[in-house]
Amino acid sequence: MTTPPQLSARDLRKEFGGGRRGEPVVAVDGIDFEVARGGALAIVGESGSGKTTVVRMMAGLETPTSGELLLDGAPLVHSGRGAEARLARARRIQMVFQDPYSSLDPRQTIGDGLAEILRLHGIADRDACEEVALTQLRRVGLDQRHLSMRPGSLSGGQRQRVAIARALAVDPEVLILDEAVAALDVSIQAQILNLLNDLRAESEVTYLFVTHDLAVAQQVTDTAIVMHRGRVVEEGTTDAVLTDPQADYTRRLLDAVPHRGWKPRRRLAASA
């Protein structure tokens, strides 16, 4: 018997009502992808290509119009939207966003925030929380000092480390990273990407890495799909997509995003 992929999408489609002339907006137009357990897939595309909609369907925040999302071979979308269903889903799928402020309470210390998650998911009781929280912080390169700090006194990179620690604290099967390094300086970005590689090597977590930047995707993912107007226009190993793109759109996307050795040739045409 073959093992099912950890995560897959089959002919996944999402329409929203209320387009300009009343026609539906097709945000995701019949896409397919698969990620093996412990693998890392990049979803690459510019703003408006449908990446966020895919992620929101995975998080249970949107319901697909048709098609399926499968987690470990079982449909994901029909498991309900109530608080219990959300908690059960969060146990399996965690997310890290571009702006860690969106998930960090500015009034709460890093240690208290982690402890809250550990208790919520029944991972550690009150007595064990601090020790487990510290273990999680150490995994992401932080230490005892950070337990009592608040998000406002951390750097952007440290905040993103905390967001990663919080996400991995529940030992999810899938970690979705939605433009997770986009707001960081290049040197900090490199540190976080290295950390993500180390964390994936030491656990079986599967990454879904959403980005507009293929060069960044190459540093953490094995395979990539390129989305344009809700469709997959190119797929393959991330290396091949980056170094030998087949689709015109991918080539234009690569030309538009600054990367090492980049020479500005042309911007993506607004109508492309």
Exactly one of 52, 158, 219, 238 binds ligand ATP (CB under 6 A); that residue is 52
Binders of ligand ATP among residues 140 to 159 (CB under 6 A) are: none
Which of 253, 191, 194, 184 has its CA nearest to residue 43? 253
Which of 111, 109, 149 has its CA nearest to residue 128? 111
Taking each helix axis as running N to C, give the angle between helix 156-169 and helix 110-120, from 0 to 180 degrees, rounded to the nearest 10: 20
Task: Please give the backbone phi and psi of residue 169, each rounded to the nearest 5 degrees, phi first.
Answer: -60, -30
Residue 64 sits in the site that holds ligand ATP (CB under 6 A): no
Closest contact distance (angstroms) between CB of 19 and ligand ATP is: 8
Binders of ligand ATP among residues 8 to 27 (CB under 6 A) are: 16, 18, 25, 27
Count of residues binding ligand ATP (CB under 6 A)? 12
Between residues 147 and 227, which has the closer beta carbon with respect to ligand ATP?
227
What lies within 8 Å, CB to CB, of 96 at 6+ separation is 103, 160, 163, 164, 167, 175, 176, 177, 178, 180
Between residues 14 and 146, which has the closer beta carbon with respect to ligand ATP?
14
User: What whole-number distance in Å separates Cα of residue 133 and Cα of residue 84?
Assistant: 24
Stretch that binds ligand ATP, among 34-42, 43-51, 149-157, 160-168 (CB under 6 A): 43-51
Stretch that binds ligand ATP, among 50-58, 105-113, 120-128, 259-267 (CB under 6 A): 50-58
Exactly one of 11, 23, 32, 48 binds ligand ATP (CB under 6 A); that residue is 48
User: What whole-number distance in Å separates Cα of residue 137 and Cα of residue 132?
Assistant: 9
Residue with the shortest CB distance to ligand ATP: 52
User: What whole-number distance in Å separates Cα of residue 189 and Cα of residue 183?
Assistant: 8
What is the binding site for ligand ATP (CB under 6 A)?
A: 16, 18, 25, 27, 45, 47-53
